[in-house]
């Protein structure tokens, strides 16, 4: 694979039910994450200089994401279209590794196909998975699509509150 002068650290964040669901709907932010996880997530965002989301996730949090340097992955643009801080990028037409090479830390915020796409392109180095003590039995899966098995190594596990929200930190093994 071609090397670019800088290689950012790509770090994914996902909050899921214990049955691995990230949302009950396509276009709304999940309101089932704990206060402790929300704080962790907000604090973590401070160190990132770019943010990657799928189009549905962007639609669910457009107001917040418009204030950040956000890249929205979508099959709609011919290559890349810019609207203020937000760039709409077609990943089959744009070299993502090159596109992000100017950044230090890139946050990968999902949804389901985006974690998978970034991991398969080797653009996911670490993953924080928050497991909320809930069972949805329906809704969006954490990872979807793709054909490869992604291997990870657990770096740490932390209990965030009394109900047992777990914060798992993984390294992705490339």
Q: Which residues bind ligand NAP (CB under 6 A)?
A: 14-15, 22-23, 25-30, 53-57, 60, 73-76, 91, 109-114, 117, 140
Question: What's the min distance (Å) between Cβ of 85 and ligand NAP?
Answer: 18
Choice between 73 and 167, CB closer to ligand NAP: 73
Q: How many Cβ atoms are within 10 Å of 70's Cβ, its own excluded?
A: 24
In the complex, minimum distance from the CB of residue 5 to ligand NAP, in angstroms, rounded to a whole number = 26
In angstroms, what CA-CA distances link 154 with 44, 84, 151? 18, 37, 10
Residue 6 or 80: the one with the smaller Cβ distance to ligand NAP is: 80
Q: Given phi > 0 = left and psi -120 to 50 = alpha, else beta, which region is 43?
A: alpha
- CA-closest candidate to residue 50, choices 83, 85, 76, 74: 85
Cβ nearer to ligand NAP, comparing 27 with 171? 27
- Of 28 and 39, which CB lies nearer to ligand NAP in the complex structure? 28
Q: How far is the CB of 9 from ligand NAP (least distance, A)?
A: 19
Shortest gap between Cβ of 7 and ligand NAP (angstroms)? Answer: 21
Q: How far apart are CA 101 and CA 96, in angstroms?
A: 8
Q: Write down the least CB distance from residue 72 to ligand NAP, Å.
A: 8
Coil, strand or helix at 29? coil
Length in residues, the chain: 174
Strands 70-73 and 9-17: unpaired
Collect all residues with Cβ–Cβ distance below 8 Å to 163 and sequence separation of at least 6: 34, 133
Nearer to ligand NAP, 114 or 119 (CB): 114
């Amino acid at each position: 694979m071609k090397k670019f002068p800088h290689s950012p650290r790509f770090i994914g964040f996902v909050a899921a039910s214990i049955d691995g669901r990230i949302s009950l709907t396509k276009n709304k932010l999940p309101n089932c994450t704990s206060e402790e996880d929300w704080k962790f997530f907000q604090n973590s965002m401070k160190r990132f200089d770019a943010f990657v989301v799928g189009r549905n996730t962007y639609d669910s949090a457009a107001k917040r994401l418009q204030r950040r340097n956000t890249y929205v992955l979508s099959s709609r643009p011919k290559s890349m279209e810019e609207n203020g801080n937000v760039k709409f990028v077609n990943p089959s037409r744009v070299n993502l590794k090159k596109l992000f090479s100017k950044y230090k830390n890139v946050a990968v915020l999902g949804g389901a196909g985006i974690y998978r796409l970034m991991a398969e392109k080797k653009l996911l180095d670490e993953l924080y998975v928050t497991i909320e003590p809930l069972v949805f039995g329906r809704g969006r899966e954490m990872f979807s699509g793709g054909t490869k098995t992604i291997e990870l190594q657990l770096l740490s596990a932390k209990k965030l509150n009394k109900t047992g929200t777990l914060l798992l930190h993984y390294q992705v093994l490339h």
